Chains A and B, each alone.
Chain A
Amino acid sequence: MNDAARPDPDALLRTLALGTGSAGHAGRGRLKVFLGAAPGVGKTCEMLDSAAGRRTAGVDVVIGLVETHNRAETVARTTGFEIIPRKVIDHNGRSLEEMDIDAVLARKPALVLVDELAHTNAPGSRHDKRYQDVEEILNAGIDVYSTLNIQHLESLNDVVASFTRVRVRETLPDRVLESAEIAVVDLPPDELIERLRDGKVYVPEEASRALAHFFSKSNLSALRELALRRAAQAIDAQMLDHVRAHALGGKWAAGERLVVAVSEHPGAAGLVRSAKRMADALGAPWTALHVETVRDLGLADRDARALATTLELAQHLGAQTASIPAETIPEGLTTFLDQSRATQLILGKASRSRWHEWRHGSVVDHMVRHTSGVAVHVLTLDDAGTDSKTDRPHAGKATRPVAGRWGTPAGYAIALALVTLVTLVGYSIAALGNVTNVALLYLLPVLVAATRHGLRTGLVTGLASSLAYNFFFIPPLYTFTITDPQNLITVMVLLGIAVLVSQMASRVRDHALLARRSAAQNSALAGFARHLTAITTDAELGQVLCAEVARMIDVRAVLMLPEDANLVVRAAIPPEDRMDTLEYAAARWAVDHNRRAGRGSDTLTACEWLFSPINGGGRVLGVLGIARDDTAAPLRTDQMPLLSSLLDQAGLALERITLEREMASVGKLREQDRLRTALLSSVSHDLRTPLTAIIGNLDAITPVDAVQAGQLASAQAEAMRLRGFVANLLDMARIEAGALIRSSEPVDLADAIASAAHDLRRLLIANPIDMAVSPDLPFVLVDAQLFHQCLINLIDNAAKYGDPGTPITIAARRDPGHLALMVMDHGPGLPAGDETKVFENFARIAGSDRKHGTGLGLAIVRGFCAAMGLTVTASNRTDLPDGQTGACFTIHFDETHLRVMDAGDAA
């Protein structure tokens, strides 16, 4: 209906992350990036100046890491800042210095300065990249200032490389910059070149020659344009987010959705980067899609890895990634486009021969012809990227999954044997005079070879058959010469059939293989799930999970579960009972952050193991570690879904086991509770009933003389005391059992006090009540019975400790939002410092046991008040003239426990 005015929740979240929202600072810290076009524009100085301003304003600023390169102007600016000492990491005999992230987190300043956001950490650091350190710092609620040169931005990698001829290796995912506040540090190229000439720009020795080219005026201008445009884009996006988050209305180009199709082709990375730029320009979400066909079964290891890298790159650039199975690529693409309602499709066009296209059909042509409502962008896939050229030789073509390209020697042997057999049979038929039908006989070996042993074997057999037919049956006999055109056709047909049949057969075989593989995986998963349901302990679960993972993914596996504050190895295949410190740290990190850690992830990659958290019931229940004997990354991208399914199943089972254990302990508690309640009611009956009889019978006795009268009075008094004691014990037991069922009703304080005074009328003969409660106070919302008991205990207490003959004053004070009811006596008062002690069980004021208190009365008051949501305090009276003392007990009612009467309704 009114969509335009509804705040967009995603946008709201993003603005909160930026800290422009009101609650922005509560959880995550804010990141501010000082963005420059090239080294030397003065980012670090600008950052230090800005930070100095914050420090002057009273903000707690420290330097996490700033590269001064010993330049005086920079060094001077760092003075006055607290600098966190760097961590020295020993790597192959070289000691490298990195930011000490743990020290920063422990120091917990309000703002930390971290230079060079795109820096790659020394091997053995916790994170591969410095921006990951920064993210962890931000997550701890600390603000960060950092610096970045535009050429380090991942999505601009190709663009920058295209004009600078320098491929930047240290890249920063765009999402980091997108969630940051950007301050552009700008310097015109001429001035920068001048600074460079003056030696004011730090250039590493080994790179000086390459950089001389880099710092050309045209390059710098282009970089500057990129930086400024990027900053403008960011500001634009943030403005849009702000507008959307606050529902300021207006029209938005909504619904653009971009899909880029990727393959194992080495140029796909460039395709992904282009897609990212296009998605940014459109402000559209985008997906990198890989369509999995039978062809993928035969991908060489290198190609599978290339594909995984491409998908990972897309993920880093902020894309969603998807991999869907389909018979053909166009079919998969079409299905996905329909489902995701995509509006833009980006395809790469590999330079392939016309022959290849004619045979396999061109995906591009098919998509352009058969999709409507989707804009199709076609980019040429050069083997782009200097990196791919240098570190990757041209990827080999896909190989068939079965029998290799050339088939097996056995296949050829059988085929040739068949050809020989057919020739012999044909010879006897030819003897009967009909040569033409012999050609049909040769179809048999071709069909057998093509269906059973693949295309090449089929073709070779076809060739052999036609040669044999030609040699033995076509005149001129025993030569390979063909004179009759009719016979030429026969040879061609034999070859054609070999090609067709072998292709069909191999396709059928591939499908069967694909189906068999997924069926095997499904049945393994189903078996695993079935197995899990019968498991009752986590050790058993660990054994089953580790065995299954080890078998299906072909790795070593270990399951670690949290126990108290530690992670403990619960099962391992092959058996292993402890992990070393690094592995333990990675497992711990995975549990704490609920993300993968270790080799093959992007955290703590020095660890040989890859640890994946196991989730259940919304929390991390444990962690599974896997490792390969050859220390390669233990998990291939195509195995990720399998591992995820296994871990999901295990998470469910683990959650069930945990719940069962909790249920068992709850059951035990419930049993204890039942016993306590039973005891309570039996005490209630078995003690109170005889007491009632004793008191009643004592009442009925008429003493014969004064001595008996004295004895009787004493027996009655003791019996009454016992009655009070039993009642108190029961109340205490009810409080401790949490068995106070309370229902609030409005109670008039005057009413309540009068009832309590009535019940205590005999006791109050010695200490009359001085009632100072105004009759027009608001009603209080309490449980009438519990409140009655509180008043009785307080008045009883006042009567016990008040000097004989002195009044007990009950007063009420009404303040805005608060009402206090005070019960005050004229007694010795409370020892200083014991004001809260008096509410403890069996607390009696020192040297005052003349009054035979049970020591429970005030504890019950506190317990009952707490059950009703009230508080009770004790103090010494200050309202008395000099020389007099007394205690004052106050029950406090806040606004929620007051009901101002509305006489209109009642009257």
Chain B
Amino acid sequence: MTQLRVLVVEDDAAIRRLLLAALTRAGYDVIQATDARAALAALAIDKPDAVLLDLGLPDRDGLELVPLIKAAGPALIVVSARGETDQKVAALDLGADDYLTKPFDSEELHARLRTALRHRRHATTTTDTVALGDVTIDLAKRLVFRAGAEVHLTPKEYAMLAELARYPGRVITHAHLLRAVWGPGHEYDVEYLRVAARGIRRKLEADPATPHLLRNEPGVGYRLVG
């Protein structure tokens, strides 16, 4: 397997060095950029598989880079400080695959990066079934099984689950889910999501009060984890 290439776009030298060390140790080929101009150049020349993008860049708003990077093909994880939920959601809605909140630990970094890269490869092949723990989702036949037995979901519950299953492990924003399941015009009806999420948990979780399958990201969206 060829070495995967990661572009780190970060203006702070300490963080850059830290990411460089952590990612190199994990076996990635790391390239660095300190501003938006260098990042766009590296994107064209080095063709990275994934980009870690700090939203606070000196020369340009990090959000502006999101569509440009996604257009070039790599997986994209945005890095931001806590409390900047709006920025994270905006980046995700613009096409970023996931986000990391500063300060983060290396375990979290690796997990997110793995998920994003896996999805990037999956995106080229169509998957018909998604297996998460004892839950299996057959996207072609629109069926859901738990421990081998079919589970009946309402159409909206199924649609939400299917949308999440298309990007397993990734956070999907409220607006994205609402648009995909309820259609445009319902992008702010977070309540609908909460109701459907409850239904999914009741039918698929071992203990709906301590969910493991469907994880809530406060203020951002939902994530389906195995």
Which residues of B sit under 8 angstroms from A758, Cβ to Cβ?
A: 215
A775 & B18 in contact (Cβ 8 Å cutoff):
no
Q: Which residues of chain B from 57 to 86 have a CB within 8 Å of any chain A CB? A: 81-83, 85
Which residues of A sit under 8 angstroms from B202, Cβ to Cβ?
A: 775
Using a Cβ cutoff of 8 Å, how many contacts connect chains A and B? 130
Minimum Cβ distance to chain A for residue B202 (Å): 7
Does any Cβ of A come within 8 Å of B196's Cβ?
A: yes
Specify which of A693, A754, A906, A907 is in contact with B215 (CB 8 Å cutoff).
A754
Which residues of A sit under 8 angstroms from B156, Cβ to Cβ?
A: 906-907
Specify which of A689, A700, A901 is in contact with B12 (CB 8 Å cutoff).
A689
Minimum Cβ distance to chain A for residue B186 (Å): 9
Specify which of A695, A748, A754, A787 is in contact with B210 (CB 8 Å cutoff).
A754
- Binary A-proximity of B129-163 (CB < 8 A = 1, otherwise 0): 00000000000000000000000001111000000
Q: How far is the CA of A528 from the CA of B78 in the complex (A)?
A: 65
Q: How far is the CA of A752 from the CA of B197 in the complex (A)?
A: 12
Interface of B, helix, strand, loop or mixed by DSSP: helix
Which residues of B sit under 8 angstroms from A693, Cβ to Cβ?
A: 12, 14-15, 17-18
B157 & A907 in contact (Cβ 8 Å cutoff):
yes
Known: A754-B210, A758-B215. A692 touches B15 (CB 8 A): yes
Does any Cβ of A come within 8 Å of B25's Cβ?
A: yes
Does any Cβ of A come within 8 Å of B194's Cβ?
A: yes
Which residues of B sit under 8 angstroms from A751, Cβ to Cβ?
A: 194, 197, 211, 216
Specify which of B14, B17, B102, B196 is in contact with A907 (CB 8 Å cutoff).
B196
Stretch of B38-46, B103-111, B116-124 at the chain-chain interface: B103-111
Closest to A772 in B: B209
Which residues of A sit under 8 angstroms from B191, Cβ to Cβ?
A: 746, 779, 899, 901-902, 905-906
B81 & A748 in contact (Cβ 8 Å cutoff):
no
- Binary B-proximity of A684-703 (CB < 8 A = 1, otherwise 0): 11001111110111011000
Q: How far is the CA of A131 from the CA of B4 in the complex (A)?
A: 96
B218 & A755 in contact (Cβ 8 Å cutoff):
yes
Does any Cβ of A come within 8 Å of B192's Cβ?
A: yes
Q: How far is the CA of A817 from the CA of B178 in the complex (A)?
A: 29
A788 & B219 in contact (Cβ 8 Å cutoff):
yes
Minimum Cβ distance to chain B for residue A739 (Å): 10
Number of residues of chain B lying within 8 A (CB) of chain A: 47
Closest to B191 in A: A746
Closest to B154 in A: A907
Number of residues of chain A lying within 8 A (CB) of chain B: 47
Does any Cβ of B come within 8 Å of A784's Cβ?
A: yes
Q: How far is the CA of A685 from the CA of B84 in the complex (A)?
A: 13
Specify which of B18, B22, B103, B194 is in contact with A688 (CB 8 Å cutoff).
B103
B102 & A692 in contact (Cβ 8 Å cutoff):
yes
Specify which of A689, A730, A779, A899 is in contact with B14 (CB 8 Å cutoff).
A689
Does any Cβ of A come within 8 Å of B198's Cβ?
A: yes
A695 & B12 in contact (Cβ 8 Å cutoff):
no
Which residues of A sit under 8 angstroms from B82, Cβ to Cβ?
A: 727
Closest to B13 in A: A693
A755 & B215 in contact (Cβ 8 Å cutoff):
yes
Q: How far is the CA of A171 from the CA of B199 in the complex (A)?
A: 82
Does any Cβ of B come within 8 Å of A745's Cβ?
A: yes
Which residues of A sit under 8 angstroms from B21, Cβ to Cβ?
A: 696-697, 700
Closest to A783 in B: B219
Which residues of A sit under 8 angstroms from B189, Cβ to Cβ?
A: 905-906
Which of B12, B104, B199 has the most A CB atoms < 10 Å from its CB? B12
Which of B103, B105, B196, B210 has the most A CB atoms < 10 Å from its CB? B103
Specify which of B22, B194, B218 is in contact with A901 (CB 8 Å cutoff).
B194
Closest to A686 in B: B12
Does any Cβ of B come within 8 Å of A513's Cβ?
A: no
Q: How far is the CA of A754 from the CA of B211 in the complex (A)?
A: 7
A785 & B18 in contact (Cβ 8 Å cutoff):
no
Which residues of A sit under 8 angstroms from B209, Cβ to Cβ?
A: 750, 771-773, 775
Q: Which residues of chain A from 329 to 346 have a CB within 8 Å of any chain B CB? A: none
Which residues of B sit under 8 angstroms from A783, Cβ to Cβ?
A: 219
Q: Which residues of chain A from 782 to 827 have a CB within 8 Å of any chain B CB? A: 783-785, 787-788
B105 & A699 in contact (Cβ 8 Å cutoff):
yes
Which residues of B sit under 8 angstroms from A689, Cβ to Cβ?
A: 12, 14-15, 102
Closest to B102 in A: A692
Q: How far is the CA of A755 from the CA of B225 in the complex (A)?
A: 13
Minimum Cβ distance to chain A for residue B154 (Å): 5
Closest to B25 in A: A700
Q: How far is the CA of A684 from the CA of B21 in the complex (A)?
A: 24
Q: How far is the CA of A769 from the CA of B191 in the complex (A)?
A: 26
Minimum Cβ distance to chain B for residue A629 (Å): 71
Q: Which residues of chain A from 867 to 907 have a CB within 8 Å of any chain B CB? A: 899, 901-903, 905-907
Which of A747, A751, A757, A788 has the most B CB atoms < 10 Å from its CB? A751
Closest to B56 in A: A685
Q: How far is the CA of A400 from the CA of B36 in the complex (A)?
A: 92
Minimum Cβ distance to chain A for residue B211 (Å): 5
B192 & A784 in contact (Cβ 8 Å cutoff):
no
Does any Cβ of A come within 8 Å of B128's Cβ?
A: no
Closest to B182 in A: A906
Q: How far is the CA of A690 from the CA of B16 in the complex (A)?
A: 11
Q: Which residues of chain B from 209 to 225 have a CB within 8 Å of any chain A CB? A: 209-211, 215-219
Does any Cβ of B come within 8 Å of A723's Cβ?
A: yes
Q: Which residues of chain A from 691 to 721 have a CB within 8 Å of any chain B CB? A: 691-693, 695-697, 699-700
Minimum Cβ distance to chain A for residue B21 (Å): 5
> What are 26 A-B contacts defined by CB distance under 8 Å?
A693-B14, A699-B22, A699-B107, A700-B21, A723-B103, A730-B83, A747-B218, A748-B194, A750-B198, A750-B209, A750-B211, A752-B216, A754-B210, A754-B211, A755-B217, A755-B218, A772-B209, A775-B201, A784-B85, A784-B218, A899-B191, A902-B195, A905-B189, A906-B189, A906-B195, A907-B196
Given contacts A695-B103, A751-B197, 13 further A-B contacts (CB under 8 A): A684-B81, A689-B102, A693-B18, A696-B21, A699-B107, A730-B83, A745-B190, A748-B198, A755-B217, A755-B218, A771-B210, A785-B219, A907-B157
